[in-house]
Amino acid sequence: MIIDQELENKEIAKQYKELLQISYQTLSEKDKKMIRLAFDTAVEAHSDQRRKSGEAYIFHPINVAKIVAQQIGLDATSICAALLHDVVEDTGCTLEDIERLLGNNVAKIVHGLTKISSLKKDKNISLQAENFRKMLLTLHDDVRVIIIKIADRLHNMQTMDAMPEYKQVKIASETLYIYAPLAHRIGLYNVKTELEDLSLKYTEPQRYQSVKSKVEESYEAQEEYINTFSKFLSKELDKERLNYTVKGRSKSIYSIHRKMLTQNIPFEKVYDKFAMRIVFKSTRAKEKLLAWKIYSIVTDHFTPNPTRLRDWITAPKSNGYEALHITVMGPQNKWVEIQIRSERMHEIAEKGYAAHYKYKQGDNKDIGIESWLNRLQEVLENNSGNAVDFVEDFKLNLYAKEIFVFTPKGDLKSLPQGATALDFAFAIHTDIGKKTRGIRVNDRLVPLSKELKSGDQIEVITSDSIKPSKNWLDFVVTSRARSIIKSSLNEERKARAGEGKEMLRRKLKQLKITMNDKTIQKMLLYFKFDNSQDLFYRIGIGSLNNQQLKEFSSDYQNSVLNFFKRRLRSKNKFEPSTSTEITEKYDQLVFGKEKEPLAHSFASCCNPIPGDSVFGFITVNEGIKVHHKECPNALSLQSNFAYRIIPAKWIDSSSEAFVATLKLSGIDRKGLVNEVTKMISNMNNININRINFDSEDQFFTGTIQLSVQNKTILDKMVQTLSKVNGIDKIIRE
């Protein structure tokens, strides 16, 4: 590859000038000098490096800095840190050099951004989950660390075409799994949307292209509708002499895809593909008054849907988002979402943290995510368990919708939708949560598992004799509560295991067996425990009794050989059979680059059938499990355990039958069931295994279990059934 160095240098200089021009924050001369110094340091440090695409590496940190400066709108310190985010790991430049040149703040952020490369590669540890946990630990030190990491990930996603496919899928899965939800939680909505769309492009390219082309096809008709609606709204708002702008905003490809998937509907039936946004000028004092005035004007002409009113001005979201959302029946009888915001609210929605910082006044230190960061810090401090469990628990609350509840004194608290009374207790304070004896909601005693609703007033009754129990984990949903309960249970478990170890030593001594590593390993095999702490704990709580220990002792004394033979036989019961012959006449799954037929079983969480997009996951004890690419667990597996994912595809078509279950619903009529069964029976290569229909008040639901050859035949049959008069929805389980 021939490189025109002069041309490249001109482009680097041009991008540097753009960086200064597009900054959201006002840059002083001192800021500009600091950015220039960081820029020169980065150019020199990365001078010999190139990206996989062939371009100079320096373009990556410059583009990350541009995202930080314009799309996220951070300050000069952050821009400098973004320019230098890779120099410590990838070049000879040290943190001490950065601190000497640009000060402690920049060095501290760069230190937080330096990638983790010293983790032990343990087969039982998800390296990526450990990375996520360590990344989250930097959140409370300086939130800018995580925001620059998100910008870094966004630019990597924008420039991923040169990478091999398996890396694209891995990086895109990680992005959907943790980076996009983090961007959402911090309030970076535009960045979140772009991350989601780019991730879908690589995880499900066919679906992405399909939705994208349909969005483009309907663009003109949508624009015409938005313009007509905007003109009418403008005419009415002008009468009140308001200073405002009205804009239409298309929904993202990813959000349309999610709606199609969750509601099992085609593109044409996704009705809210766009939203209107009214952004008005106002002083801080009059914002709420003007927002409700605009609401009144809109609803004078269009009927609102009362169940879709969202007032995030009176009670802002915990990431600081403020707006009034209403859904009205617009022209042509279409439901349209309208978002009403002041310019300040709009900037906070677009820029999140940066705009909060800009609008922060006097003693108002709440920048929207401050209380969330404080709660997160407690979760991180309390968590010492499995990294994958931690990331799963933490992730649960990143996208969660919020409810607003009250303390006995009338203070407002926000919790994720679905939170229970016990979640509230832990949200108030760790010690209150741990000692919860009972809870009153709206002055009535309720179970700890009671799901809360917005507006509830809650009082917690505590007792010093209460300790968290394992069943509490069944009905808490917040990562904070789960983390504290697990941590408390682990402490108690450790204490019991310590007592159990001494008890076991004494019991084995009576049986004339020395307790050492070899004995413990044999006991773990015999009793089928994963680790020694499990064994000691069971002894400590008395669930392993003296009789069972005597049986082990007898086995141990008799014959080591017989012992291992018996263990091996029992273990083989659970191992997948490799003797199944896969011949050409059957549908075949092949794995890896070599396209080899390997022994496998199908995951029960998604039940894939021939023709589905699938991948293999190498489990610890059960061989290869085959999952559907749209399986609820797919993102978690691809993100946390990419090293155990094996590509899989179907080859040939076969006559072997696979089981598929369909759920039907709609308006009941005479002869409907007969028509459905007759239609299926007339189709080749499909047999009905089981059929069940229920009807109530002219609404029916039905379940049909079928033996079907492959997905193409199933899809064809679903298409035919959907045309039957009365059937409204067909969902494959």
Residue 549 has pLDDT above 80, yes or no: yes
**In this predicted model, what pLDDT tens digit does every residue of 219-236 receive, in sequence order?**
888 888 888 889 999 999
Query: Which positions are annotated as active-site residues?
Result: 89-90
Which has the higher per-residue pLDDT, 405 or 197?
197
Strands 600-602 and 624-628: parallel
Mean pLDDT of 144-163: 89
Mean pLDDT of 380-389: 58
DSSP letter assigned to residue 450: P
**CA 528 to CA 548: how far, in whole Å?**
13
Residue 100 has pLDDT above 80, yes or no: yes
Q: What is the pLDDT of residue 583?
A: 35
Residue 466 has pLDDT above 90, yes or no: no
Q: What is the pLDDT of residue 131?
A: 67
What's this model's pTM, rounded to 2 decimal places?
A: 0.67
> Best-predicted range by mean pLDDT among 6-10, 254-258, 609-613?
254-258
Residue 240 has pLDDT above 60, yes or no: yes
Mean pLDDT of 634-662: 77
Where does 287-411 show beta strands of DSSP type E? 310-311, 324-330, 334-342, 402-406
Q: What is the pLDDT of residue 94?
A: 87
Q: Do 467 and 382 touch, CB atoms closer than 8 A?
A: no
Which has the higher per-residue pLDDT, 402 or 136?
402
Residue 584 has pLDDT above 60, yes or no: no
**In this predicted model, what pLDDT tens digit does every residue of 322-339 receive, in sequence order?**
999 999 988 888 888 999
Burial class (CB in 10 A: 0-12, 13-18, 19+), 556: middle
Q: Do 549 and 500 touch, CB atoms closer than 8 A?
A: no
- Measure Cα distances from 202 to 207, 606, 611 in Å: 10, 21, 20
Residue 362 has pLDDT above 50, yes or no: no
Compute CA 712 distance to the chain's CA centroid, rounded to the nearest angstrom.
Answer: 31
DSSP letter assigned to residue 353: H
Closest CA to 64 of 45, 78, 46, 50: 78
Of 35-49, 68-82, 136-150, the poorest mean pLDDT is in 136-150
**CA 696 to CA 451: how far, in whole Å?**
28
CATH topology for 5-210 is Hypothetical protein af1432 (1.10.3210)
Q: What is the pLDDT of residue 364?
A: 44
Average pLDDT, the chain: 81
**In this predicted model, what pLDDT tens digit does every residue of 391-438 receive, in sequence order?**
665 655 566 677 778 888 877 787 888 899 999 999 888 889 999 989
Q: What is the pLDDT of residue 161?
A: 87
| Type of residue found at 693 | F
Which has the higher per-residue pLDDT, 105 or 658?
105
| DSSP for 581-615, written as a single string | ---TTS-EEEETTTTB---EEE-TTT---TTS-EE
DSSP letter assigned to residue 644: G
Q: What is the pLDDT of residue 421?
A: 92
Residue 36 has pLDDT above 90, yes or no: yes
**CA 187 to CA 371: how far, in whole Å?**
14
Mean pLDDT of 588-603: 79
Q: What is the pLDDT of residue 123?
A: 44
E strand or H helix that includes residue 90: helix 87-90
> Best-predicted range by mean pLDDT among 275-284, 317-326, 574-583?
275-284
Residue 548 has pLDDT above 70, yes or no: yes
Mean pLDDT of 370-394: 59
**In this predicted model, what pLDDT tens digit does every residue of 107-130 receive, in sequence order?**
888 887 775 444 444 444 455 666
Of 64-78, 159-173, 295-309, 396-410, the poorest mean pLDDT is in 396-410
Compute CA 47 distance to the chain's CA centroid, rounded to the nearest angstrom.
Answer: 37
Q: What is the pLDDT of residue 360?
A: 56
Residue 8 has pLDDT above 80, yes or no: yes
Domain at 218-359, CATH class? alpha beta
Burial class (CB in 10 A: 0-12, 13-18, 19+), 188: buried
Closest CA to 292 of 340, 327, 330, 253: 340
Q: Do 275 and 249 touch, CB atoms closer than 8 A?
A: yes
**In this predicted model, what pLDDT tens digit does every residue of 474-526 receive, in sequence order?**
889 887 888 888 888 888 888 888 888 888 888 888 888 888 877 888 788 78
Residue 192 has pLDDT above 70, yes or no: yes
- With a pLDDT cut of 70, the percent of the chain lying above it is 84
- Neighbour order of strands in the sheet with 334-342: 244-250, 274-280, 334-342, 324-330, 310-311
Domains of the chain: which residue ranges? 5-210, 218-359, 487-572, 588-651, 658-732
Which has the higher per-residue pLDDT, 452 or 632?
452
Q: What is the pLDDT of residue 348?
A: 84
Q: What is the pLDDT of residue 177?
A: 83
**In this predicted model, what pLDDT tens digit does every residue of 259-289 receive, in sequence order?**
888 888 888 888 778 889 999 999 989 999 9
Mean pLDDT of 201-205: 91
Q: What is the pLDDT of residue 120?
A: 42
CATH architecture of 658-732: 2-Layer Sandwich (3.30)
Residue 340 has pLDDT above 90, yes or no: yes
Alpha helices in 352-478 (DSSP H): 353-359, 370-382, 387-396, 421-428, 430-434
**In this predicted model, what pLDDT tens digit does every residue of 46-71 receive, in sequence order?**
888 888 777 888 999 999 999 999 88
Mean pLDDT of 714-731: 86
